[in-house]
């Protein structure tokens, strides 16, 4: 009888577990002067997204933010692992990156064009320099795919993962509009000398919602708001778009974000997205 009671208690605890929501917001604007990266305003996006998530029932204690010098490669990965250690079945995880993006030489052969997409943390430099900086601090999509795959398994079919990337992986970084145009990325690829040919392989996609601020061949231009500050256009749209993510289908949310971004950009720019947040739900949160 005692054994049955324990099993019943554990079962009741399991079914009674409330859904938790976790978020990591990364915003970088002031990269080190010796990094080769120009100033942008990724850090301005952080309070916008923080406020938005709190309005969507994310508890402040479950929202982690890394701004400028806090957002090193190690701390970003450390916070991602911290979230992984906390989540359970059916939870929601939101990850937001506002900063520079860059294409990096693909070393494992899983990219058709020979380049991985990468987020640029605070301590990542723009150019390869042998035995000085060889790309070890770039966060490439292979790492994110591996992390999100593990996270997907832990969250289960009813869990949700939303990744917003307000960066870009192309663009000259020098074109100006009225003297002030901030582009989040570069067309200068991070070339890593490869001593052996890449072996082509393909990874199976994992079901999550990933939204990028522009296509890989476009530039992501910052948006100047009426308050006089610059923001990422995707971040600003997510925070101010106004639709209810509990009622609207995520496809409608993405369409609305895309409409805003295309309207405020002075250059051709449209969102790139893939996946879906859950097998069981078509709502964002």
Contact criterion met (CB below 8 Å) for 259 and 252: no
pLDDT by 10s per residue, the chain, length 285: 454 444 444 444 445 568 999 999 999 999 999 999 999 999 999 999 999 999 999 999 999 999 999 999 999 999 999 999 999 999 999 999 999 998 888 775 555 455 888 999 999 999 999 999 988 999 998 899 899 999 999 999 889 999 999 997 643 333 333 445 566 556 666 666 665 445 445 544 456 789 999 887 788 989 899 999 999 999 999 999 888 888 888 889 999 999 999 998 888 889 988 877 665 678 888
Distance CA 264, CA 169 (A): 20
Q: What is the pLDDT of residues 97-113, one digit of tens each?
A: 999 998 888 775 555 45
- Residue 22 is predicted with a pLDDT of 98
DSSP state of 50: H
183: which DSSP letter? B
| Residues recorded for the chain | 285
In whole angstroms, what is the distance from residue 128 CA to residue 130 CA? 6
Could you tell me the pTM of the whole model? Answer: 0.85
**Domains with residue ranges and CATH for the chain:** 19-274 (3.40.50.1460)
């Amino acid at each position: 009888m005692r054994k049955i009671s324990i099993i019943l208690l554990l079962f009741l605890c399991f079914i009674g577990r409330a859904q938790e929501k976790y978020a990591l917001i990364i915003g970088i604007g002031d990269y080190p002067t010796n990094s080769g990266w120009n100033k942008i305003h990724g850090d301005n996006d952080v309070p916008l997204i923080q406020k938005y998530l709190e309005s969507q029932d994310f508890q402040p204690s479950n929202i982690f933010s890394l701004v400028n010098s806090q957002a090193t490669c190690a701390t970003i990965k450390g916070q991602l692992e911290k979230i992984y250690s906390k989540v359970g079945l059916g939870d929601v995880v939101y990850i937001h990156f506002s900063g520079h993006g860059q294409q990096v030489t693909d070393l494992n052969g899983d990219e058709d064009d020979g380049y991985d997409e990468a987020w640029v943390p605070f301590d990542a430099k723009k150019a390869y320099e042998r035995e000085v900086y060889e790309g070890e601090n770039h966060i490439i999509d292979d790492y994110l795919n591996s992390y999100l795959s593990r996270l997907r398994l832990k969250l289960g079919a009813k869990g949700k993962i939303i990744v917003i990337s307000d960066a870009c992986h192309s663009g000259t970084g020098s074109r100006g509009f009225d003297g002030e145009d901030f582009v989040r990325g570069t067309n200068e690829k991070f070339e890593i000398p490869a001593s052996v040919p890449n072996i082509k392989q393909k990874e199976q996609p994992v079901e999550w919602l990933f939204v990028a601020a522009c296509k890989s061949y476009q530039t992501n231009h910052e948006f100047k708001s009426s308050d006089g500050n610059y923001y990422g256009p995707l971040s600003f749209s997510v925070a101010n778009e106004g639709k209810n993510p509990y009622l609207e289908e995520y496809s409608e949310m993405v369409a609305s974000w895309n409409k805003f971004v295309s309207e405020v950009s002075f250059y051709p720019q449209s969102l790139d997205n893939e996946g879906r947040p859950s097998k069981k739900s078509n709502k964002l949160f």
